[in-house]
Structure 1
Amino acid sequence: MGVQQQTDTLQGITPIDIEAHPREFNPDLDVDTMANATLTGVKKKMVTEWHRFDKILISVGIFFINFITALDSSATATIQPRVLSDFNAMTRAGVISTVTYLLIAGVRPMFAKISDVFGHLQALTLSMALHTLGFLICALAHSFSAVFGGTVVSVLGQAGYGTLVAIIIADILPIHLRASVTAYVSVPNVTNYYLGVEVGNGLYERWHWVYGILCILAVVCSVPAIFSLFRLDRRARHILRNLTVTEVNKSKRPLLHRFLGVLMELDVPGLILLCGGFIAILAPLGMQYNITYGWSSARIIAPLVIGVCALLFFVYYEYKLATYPVVPFRLFKIRTFTCAILAATCFYFTNNVSLFYFNPYIQVTRETSSRTAMLLQLGTVGYNVGMFFGGWAMQFSRRYRRWAWIGWAMWLIAVCLMIRTRSGSGTTNAEIAVVQAILGIGSGVVIGCVGIGVQASVSKIDLSIAITLYGMVAYIGGVIGEGTSTTIWVNVLPSKLEGKVNSSVDIYSAINNITYFFELEKDQRVIVQNGYIETQRILTICGICGMLLAGIAMLGLAPYQLSTDDKGDIIVDDPGKPVSTLISDTQDTDNANSTSSNTKITNIITRLHPRQLAQRLGGSKN
């Protein structure tokens, strides 16, 4: 269905019915948003009123979801060497990590779309089923293929969790509280990093039990969230049944028509093009083919060209052909949204280009153990602390942009200080740790605040895909930064050593084998260390440039005031008017077909605040 036909079909919805920020919303570009407003999952979100008990229960559920996903990441990483060695597959560790990375990046839009079409309950249940099934397959595995397949299935569920958690928090909370609550429920990301290591070490020789325990916990930890969403889904379906009394019963349509209708609502071609395009672009970089084969290799060029072509065709298909587009491209005409996406890309580029080789750099230049290098890597802990600071600041000031700039300044200062703290043995471990902590806190503040700016700039109907796109930027910017850092590292570092070390020293082993490095003579180790320092300085300068570009992009962020109003919940002028009257008021005098009836009812839903809707229909307050 083309754009003009969409416009005719959606004549019952007017631009004022779906609100975004008044200074940036363009009523001439909202056809795709009005189309998505007719999706069942979106209508459920619009009529759902979250009571205090619901919010507490779903927040507890999200906490436990983060608990199991964080425990999964840490415990499985700990036992992975043992798992792979049992199947003589140690060299395939990179394949698992790369596929995991690509899947988490690529399938996020799919879960956002499932949530819009069917609802949060159905999408979260699917994520739980995939996560649990993956663990079960790994627990029963007797070959590398089984472990690999189970890991892939489990990662699909984990990607669904990561997408839905952010969307649900945005649906249940006022915008000024979202960042602080996200920080609270993300505490397991820090604590379970260490807990997972202990679990993995304790069951290292009986690694099947690790997957078995995770399988059980995946079900148990999902129960609170699924129970809460089940109650809300039932309440929303009751409201929708009362609203759609004039709609033709869709269940009477032939099964094939209903199936094709679901495929059209899911926009399966668009999902395939979007996810496939991103994976094709990220795959050769994630597998570091640019290092192994060089940029001119067909192994690099072919997937990049395929990925770019797929994304270009995706743009055309979504803009011209899709009835329910995955990505409303009019979002990119919102200045704040576009600038936030560009800024976040630069953030993650900076993070990967400056920190990708942190651990080997510390081990070589300071001649310390990998454990000490890990302890000095305080970025993750600092990031979560920064999320708290940024969340509290936005909660009490109801502003986001000023705090985003403070976080950006902290991050830039930390990256600049890296030039000193990574200048060799003249600095202490304490200085390195402090700089890493400042960098982590600054990144947590700015990424959280800019993310809230994204949510403030779009309508409630576009919220899920906006959050998903902002999350995908982490992988796009990250892989660009990773590709940049690896290209510089493998080309510059050897050139810094050529002609300086003794001819008996194997340069390749000196920069790739930590054991070989420690066996070198002291004077040769110093030469290698100087090469590391000079190469790292180049990467740090690239990071500084990335942060400056991010600052330029942040100039486009609008200074929204974060209010308690939910975007898209328009309160009508006559709050006492019955819903049945509102429905009849919107109907044409002649008999309306099922499509126009559905859009007119959607018009009602998007105009009502959930509390008004529940009161008029006698909705439950439990």
Structure 2
Amino acid sequence: MLEKVTPSTTEVPPATGPQDPASEQQNGVRIAEAVTKSWSKNTLIQVYICMWLMYFVRALNGSLTSNLAPYITSDFSNHSLLPVIQIVVSIMSAACTMPIAKLLNLWDRTIALSLMLVVSIIGLIVMACCHNITIYCVAQAFITVGLTGLIFSLDVLTADTSTAQDRALAFAFTSSPYIIMAFAGAPLSASFNEVNWRWAYGTIAILLPVVTVPLIIIWELAKRKAQETETLTRIHEKRSLAESIHYYIIEFDIIGILLLIAGFSLFLLAFALAGSQPQKWHSTHIICMIVIGGVTIIVFAAYERLFASKPLVPYNLLISRTVTFTCLLNLTYVIAADCWASYFTSFLQVVYHVSLTEAGYVVAISNLISPLWLVGVGFLVRWTGRFKWLLLCAIPVYLLAIGLMIYFRSPGHSIGYICLCEVLIGLGTGTIIALEQTAVTTASEHNDYASMLALLGWVGSIGGAIGNSISGAIWTNTLPQKLREYLPEEMKSQWKEINDSLYVQLSYEVGSPTRVAIEKAYAVSQRNMLIAGIAFMALTIVWVVGIKDVRVKGRDNKGRVLF
């Protein structure tokens, strides 16, 4: 592992001459190529087993959080703040993605893995100990940043060890743990909820280092082997401590990160919080958040374009038409999905009268279908050598699913129709996500894999923040109003208590006037969120048409590959 900042120490393959193209590569990429060349087939299989286990733990955390979040926030009497929390964690995820990519390229894959492992464990421990909504939000931010960084590092490693032709298959393999979570996630969530939800995060805090440390060890042993065979040599870059601090502040664009977090947090949180303020949009706090946040976003854009030596989002990455339209596709898709997803498990339990376990199973249908279908997508890309035609098929399927869900979201319809919609969503989602990653890596050189995947993740995180702000705005401006409108006269005074807790909502007997009123309010809110989602998703047709139909056959990586 690389140790020092001053003097900074890196390791690179020996130069083969002044005209060697690899000499232009960044140190992290050079190390990755040297390490993958030194791997045997058995070692590479061990690496993929470790990566699969890490994806499994990430899938477990995602399933537990998705199912338990409504109950955890209800414990703190803040069920309506679900989108607000997601906005914060999405912005934090966006802020860390590009710096992690630079870390991968400048130093080494294992440094990023180790750092993100520590951040994740801190967040999980804080989460298991939190006793109010503020600490919960902070813990979720740490967990999201840490796990996003870990999985992003694995995505880059997957791209390092797969050919362009088989990359969709490689991503299908690493996504397969979600198949298990489709069956195990819901009952595990229900069990933890009955005992104590804090144990869920304590369990993940134990499992995560167990599955991550072996991968770090394998990488370091392979790096040592590369050094012994002189495939990899050590060089020293002499900088003073002050020079190193200045270098990394510039290189990681610390000023840009702070402006990004401040601007998007203030601006997007205002939309999610306005409905809960006594004066709504006329509230001084909301107006200040929108104005200051908007100005800060403008300052962020101006700083990045005019003053940042190493901008958070390098503009040269957007030169490719394929990359630009793929990023727009990801941004719009994530906005559309997050417009309605935050309250979906609550909606199922309240309107369709299912248990937490049953609601988890319904939500997990798309998580089951998506990785299964990914294998088919991978073989179709391998067979045809192209991927754009699959995207053109996936978008209408996803639009159909959301359109049907708008129709079936009301009380009185069978939950089987919602399950059908989840199947269609799984088919569309699996195709879109895998082929986005394939598109940006196919349109770039190996030196840019980390930056390309980071750019894709960055716009996705911003999309998540925007989608959740829309969801929060619709929810806080619709559900309370509809509760006051639909509740029986004798219950109208209790609308806020009902609004703030899923436990309270579920406590009313099915068929009672109060429960019927709650169900009607939920149905209207969910309908409005789904309409917003399908409106954004319609834009993706334009973005897919703009993507270049790149042929993936014949594009190979340097080093040993498994796929």
TM-score > 0.5, shorter chain as reference: yes
Is 2:391 aligned against 1:404?
yes
Q: Where does structure 1 lack aligned partners over 5 or more consecutive residues?
A: 1-12, 19-33, 570-608, 612-622
Is 2:90 aligned against 1:106?
no
Given that 1:379 and 1:441 are in contact with CA atoms closer than 8 Å, whether structure 2 keeps it comes out as yes
The match for 1:458 is 444
| 1:579-614, Cα deviation, whole Å (9 max, x unpaired) | xxxxxxxxxxxxxxxxxxxxxxxxxxxxxx569xxx
1:391 to 350, 375, 378: 378
Q: Secondary structure at the match of 1:559?
A: coil
2:540 to 544, 550, 565: 550
Is 2:422 aligned against 1:430?
no
The match for 2:425 is 439
| 1:79-109, Cα deviation, whole Å (9 max, x unpaired) | 8899999xx9565986876654543343222
Q: Structure 1 residues 379, 49: closer, same or farther in 2, change over 3 A?
A: closer
Shift of 1:281: 4.1
Distance in 2, Cα, partners of 1:77 & 1:365: 18
Given that 1:509 and 1:516 are in contact with CA atoms closer than 8 Å, whether structure 2 keeps it comes out as no
Q: Secondary structure at the match of 2:313?
A: coil
Please say which of residues 195-204 and 398-407 is displaced more in the overlay: 195-204
The match for 1:598 is none
The match for 2:210 is 220
Q: Which has the larger radius of gyration?
A: 1
The match for 2:492 is 506
Distance in 1, Cα, partners of 2:290 & 2:19: 39
Shift of 1:373: 3.6
Q: Secondary structure at the match of 2:164?
A: coil
Distance in 1, Cα, partners of 2:487 & 2:70: 34
The match for 1:584 is none
Is 2:332 aligned against 1:346?
yes
With structure 1 as the length reference, what TM-score do the two structures score?
0.72
Given that 2:484 and 2:492 are in contact with CA atoms closer than 8 Å, whether structure 1 keeps it comes out as no
Shift of 1:222: 0.9
Q: Structure 1 residues 207, 446: closer, same or farther in 2, change over 3 A?
A: closer
Letter in 2 for 1:514: Q
2:550 to 560, 566, 569: 560
Shift of 1:119: 1.4
The match for 2:10 is none
The match for 2:233 is 241
Q: Secondary structure at the match of 2:434?
A: helix
Q: Structure 1 residues 440, 235: closer, same or farther in 2, change over 3 A?
A: same
Give runs of aligned pairs for residues 215-294 of structure 1, distance below 5 A.
Answer: 215-234=205-224, 238-239=230-231, 241=233, 249-251=236-238, 253-285=239-271, 288-293=272-277, 294=280
Q: Structure 1 residues 440, 16: closer, same or farther in 2, change over 3 A?
A: farther
Q: Secondary structure at the match of 1:461?
A: helix
Please say which of residues 557-566 and 213-222 is displaced more in the overlay: 213-222
Given that 2:88 and 2:265 are in contact with CA atoms closer than 8 Å, whether structure 1 keeps it comes out as no
The match for 1:115 is 104
Q: Where does structure 2 lack aligned partners over 5 or more consecutive residues?
A: 1-16
Distance in 1, Cα, partners of 2:257 & 2:488: 55
Q: Structure 1 residues 485, 200: closer, same or farther in 2, change over 3 A?
A: closer
Shift of 1:505: 5.0
2:165 to 176, 181, 198: 176
| 1:25-81, Cα deviation, whole Å (9 max, x unpaired) | xxxxxxxxx9xx564224434555444344323211211212222334455777889
Given that 1:138 and 1:211 are in contact with CA atoms closer than 8 Å, whether structure 2 keeps it comes out as yes
Given that 1:57 and 1:224 are in contact with CA atoms closer than 8 Å, whether structure 2 keeps it comes out as no
Shift of 1:435: 1.8
Letter in 1 for 2:386: R
Q: Structure 1 residues 275, 61: closer, same or farther in 2, change over 3 A?
A: farther
The match for 1:9 is none
How many aligned residue pairs are there? 528
Shift of 1:561: 0.8
Q: Structure 1 residues 122, 265: closer, same or farther in 2, change over 3 A?
A: same
Distance in 1, Cα, partners of 2:521 & 2:189: 39
Q: Secondary structure at the match of 1:219?
A: helix
Q: Structure 1 residues 81, 204: closer, same or farther in 2, change over 3 A?
A: farther
Q: Secondary structure at the match of 2:259?
A: helix
Q: Secondary structure at the match of 2:156?
A: helix
Distance in 2, Cα, partners of 1:66 & 1:268: 29
Distance in 1, Cα, partners of 2:19 & 2:377: 34
Shift of 1:501: 6.7
The match for 1:591 is none
Given that 2:86 and 2:468 are in contact with CA atoms closer than 8 Å, whether structure 1 keeps it comes out as no
Please say which of residues 469-478 and 527-536 is displaced more in the overlay: 527-536
Given that 1:72 and 1:196 are in contact with CA atoms closer than 8 Å, whether structure 2 keeps it comes out as no
Letter in 2 for 1:389: G
Letter in 2 for 1:550: T
Distance in 1, Cα, partners of 2:485 & 2:185: 47
Distance in 2, Cα, partners of 1:157 & 1:345: 21
Given that 1:44 and 1:236 are in contact with CA atoms closer than 8 Å, whether structure 2 keeps it comes out as no
Shift of 1:374: 3.5
Q: Structure 1 residues 228, 421: closer, same or farther in 2, change over 3 A?
A: same
Identity %: 24
The match for 1:299 is 285
Please say which of residues 295-304 and 76-85 is displaced more in the overlay: 76-85
Distance in 2, Cα, partners of 1:91 & 1:79: 13
| 1:476-514, Cα deviation, whole Å (9 max, x unpaired) | 323333333443444456666877775445287397352
Given that 1:131 and 1:155 are in contact with CA atoms closer than 8 Å, whether structure 2 keeps it comes out as yes
Q: Secondary structure at the match of 1:462?
A: helix
Letter in 1 for 2:252: L
Q: Secondary structure at the match of 1:463?
A: helix
User: Of the two structures, which has the highest relative contact order with CA contacts closer than 8 Å and spacing of 6 or more?
Assistant: 2
The match for 1:158 is 147
Distance in 1, Cα, partners of 2:263 & 2:291: 9
Given that 1:349 and 1:480 are in contact with CA atoms closer than 8 Å, whether structure 2 keeps it comes out as yes
Distance in 1, Cα, partners of 2:152 & 2:208: 17
Letter in 2 for 1:250: E
Distance in 1, Cα, partners of 2:369 & 2:309: 44
Q: CA RMSD in A?
A: 4.2
Given that 2:172 and 2:374 are in contact with CA atoms closer than 8 Å, whether structure 1 keeps it comes out as yes
With structure 2 as the length reference, what TM-score do the two structures score?
0.78
Distance in 1, Cα, partners of 2:224 & 2:85: 39
The match for 1:128 is 117
Given that 1:376 and 1:433 are in contact with CA atoms closer than 8 Å, whether structure 2 keeps it comes out as yes
